[in-house]
Amino acid sequence: MPETHPSQQTLVMKFGGTSVGGGEAIAQAVEIIRRARAKWPNVTVVASAMSGVTNLLLDTASRAALGDVSGLEAAAQSLHEKHFAAVEALLPERTTRDLLTKDLGQLIASFTDLCRAMAVLGEASPRALDAVASLGERMSVRLLAAAASAAGIPAEAVEATRLIVTNRNFQNAHPDFEATTHKTRQALTPLFERGITPVVTGFIGATPEGTITTLGRGGSDYSAAILGAVLPASEVWIWTDVDGVMTADPRLVPEARTLAEISYSEIAELAYYGAKVLHPKTVRPVVEAGIGLRICNTFNPSHPGTRLVPSAAGRVNGKQVIKAVTAIRRQRLVTVEGRGMLGVPGVAARAFGAVASTGTSVPLITQASSEQSICFAVPSEAVQAVLDSLEKAFAAEIRQDDIDRVWATEDVSIITVVGAGMRHTPGVAGQIFSQLGRREVNVLAIAQGSSEVSISMVVEAAATEAAVKALHGLIGETGGEVSR
């Protein structure tokens, strides 16, 4: 386990879905909590739902909204089996087991009630979906807290609806940090004073009126960062099922390795461009609060993991140029093109206003200097809604032939090379494209942010693995040094 400093007081640890995915994993998490409590005066635990549970909840609810409740009983049975098996494995005392199974059973019953209500109404509102999605975390914290208590660790399950105050943007709520600070300290400080470890639901919060909201899929990392910022904590540790941030997806590049350190700007780019190890929103609260952040492996706790640092400048003798390569699959390139766009102000604003009206996020944008086309990427599942919205927004221009067409490619992938050292190293872009050329990978579009921490390229879906492997080769054997 990573070393601590004597002056550090408060630690927030978040356990992901695989880290609480069953009895054995939860027992390992409990042991990690025990070791942390031996070194830190105050420990707060944030937990995700058990792996696979949130998908099961939402998939079942979505089908129910269409009037299909044929799989509801099977889903409820699966939830019973998954959680009750862990209860049996972790809690030796019968009375405790009975109380917990009753509590979990009531939450599962509320899930079936919500789904049947959706089936009757024929719709699932974002508010109702948040109520369903919250149940996974609400069950897992009760299980983890009970397991810790049974192992002799004073712990108490705490629903984040008591702590994190958000707006009413259901399914992707934004926290009110001032209100959250007050409520979190009010609720958790008395537990710390009594030597109790709070086990808090990740992913969820509540409006000022107390209505459940969620922070977006994968939002438990964000929850940990929010609590770390408002307590405040000295460190936030994200416990997952890998040894830290890797130079590439090991499923694509078997020789990928763990990075000992990475800067906040680099991890922000990696998280945004597809690396699943950290939720993209996690970085900002941590940076603004000046909190240390580390990513660790629940199943290999002796590994130091990856530590996030404020700046990557000057490390590895200034030679660490490219740090990692990541890929986002299942994207489409959408193009708005026409000679009538030349010199016409407001075309881009209207285009992206049309995209925003569909609730779609755009991860990459590129525009020709001739101003005759705008090209951007959107998730494949959103492409038809985006095309329809654009055609509606530019209906007059399309009729007048000022815009020739609005169209989308087949599936593509966004490949991103990340490294703060690229900012000061001439020739990196040339090496990147030469490397891709040698592997016969065709680049469809290119974008680079003003921070110069990353370069993103769009390639055909079939070329994803070849592109990632090719660019990973530039990292080299010496920790990211690019030959010159």
CATH of the domain at 21: 3.40.1160.10
Burial class, 466, CB count within 10 angstroms (exposed 0-12 / middle 13-18 / buried 19+): middle
Residues 190 and 335 in one domain: no
pTM as predicted: 0.84
Residues 70 and 210 in one domain: yes
What is the distance between the alpha carbons of residues 63 and 71, in angstroms, rounded to a whole number?
8
What is the distance between the alpha carbons of residues 356 and 345, in angstroms, rounded to a whole number?
19
Domain termination site, one of 388, 408, 428: 408
Residues 230 and 366 in one domain: no
Which domain covers residue 385, as residue numbers?
331-408
Residues 354 and 236 in one domain: no
Residues 26 and 170 in one domain: yes
Mean pLDDT score across all residues of the chain: 90
> According to the model, what pLDDT value does residue 4 have?
46
Residue among 419, 420, 411, 415 at smallest CA distance from 433: 415
Residues 92 and 204 in one domain: yes
Q: Is residue 268 part of a domain?
A: no
Instruction: Tell me phi and psi for residue 187, to 5 degrees.
Output: -85, -40
Asked if residue 315 has pLDDT above 80, the reply is: no
Q: Is residue 480 part of a domain?
A: no
Residues 102 and 212 in one domain: yes
- Any idea what DSSP says for residue 403? S
> According to the model, what pLDDT value does residue 142 have?
98
Burial class, 38, CB count within 10 angstroms (exposed 0-12 / middle 13-18 / buried 19+): exposed
- Any idea what DSSP says for residue 256? -
Are 162 and 137 contacting, i.e. CB atoms less than 8 angstroms apart? no
Q: Is residue 437 part of a domain?
A: no
Residues 87 and 217 in one domain: yes
Residues 39 and 152 in one domain: yes
Asked if residue 5 has pLDDT above 70, the reply is: no
CA angle 312, 313, 314 (to 5 degrees): 120
Count of structural domains within the chain: 2
Q: Is residue 479 part of a domain?
A: no
The pLDDT confidence band at residue 119, using thresholds 50, 70 and 90, is very high
Q: Is residue 158 part of a domain?
A: yes
Residues 76 and 188 in one domain: yes
> According to the model, what pLDDT value does residue 242 have?
87
What is the distance between the alpha carbons of residues 317 and 322, in angstroms, rounded to a whole number?
14
Asked if residue 441 has pLDDT above 50, the reply is: yes
Mean pLDDT, to the nearest integer, of 439-452?
84
What is the distance between the alpha carbons of residues 126 and 137, in angstroms, rounded to a whole number?
18
Name the 3-class secondary structure at 396: helix
Asked if residue 164 has pLDDT above 80, the reply is: yes
pLDDT in tens, 210-256: 999 999 988 999 999 999 999 999 999 999 998 999 999 888 999 99
The pLDDT confidence band at residue 344, using thresholds 50, 70 and 90, is confident
Asked if residue 278 has pLDDT above 90, the reply is: no
> According to the model, what pLDDT value does residue 331 have?
97
Residue that the structure tokens 């409820």 belong to: 76
Domain termination site, one of 387, 408, 429: 408
Looking up residue 380, the CATH number of its domain turns out to be: 3.30.2130.10
What is the distance between the alpha carbons of residues 75 and 57, in angstroms, rounded to a whole number?
8
The upper half-sphere exposure of residue 476, i.e. CA atoms within 13 Å in the direction of its Cβ, equals 14
Q: Is residue 440 part of a domain?
A: no
Does the bond joining 92 to the residue before it have cis omega, within 30 degrees of 0? Answer: no
Mean pLDDT, to the nearest integer, of 159-182?
97
Domain termination site, one of 201, 225, 241: 241
Asked if residue 63 has pLDDT above 60, the reply is: yes
Residues 91 and 198 in one domain: yes
* Number of neighbouring beta carbons within 10 Å of residue 3: 6
Are 470 and 439 contacting, i.e. CB atoms less than 8 angstroms apart? yes
Instruction: Average the pLDDT over each of 131-135, 206-210, 234-238, 287-291 and give the range with the smallest value.
Output: 287-291
Q: Is residue 264 part of a domain?
A: no
Asked if residue 261 has pLDDT above 70, the reply is: yes
Q: Is residue 449 part of a domain?
A: no
Residues 200 and 344 in one domain: no
Asked if residue 265 has pLDDT above 50, the reply is: yes
Instruction: Tell me phi and psi for residue 250, to 5 degrees.
Output: -65, -15
**pLDDT top residue among 402 and 88:** 88
> According to the model, what pLDDT value does residue 6 have?
34
Which residues, including other chains, have CB under 8 Å from residue 279's CB and lie 6 or more apart? 216, 218, 219, 220, 221, 222, 271
Q: Identify the helix (H) or strand (E) that includes residue 378.
A: strand 373-379
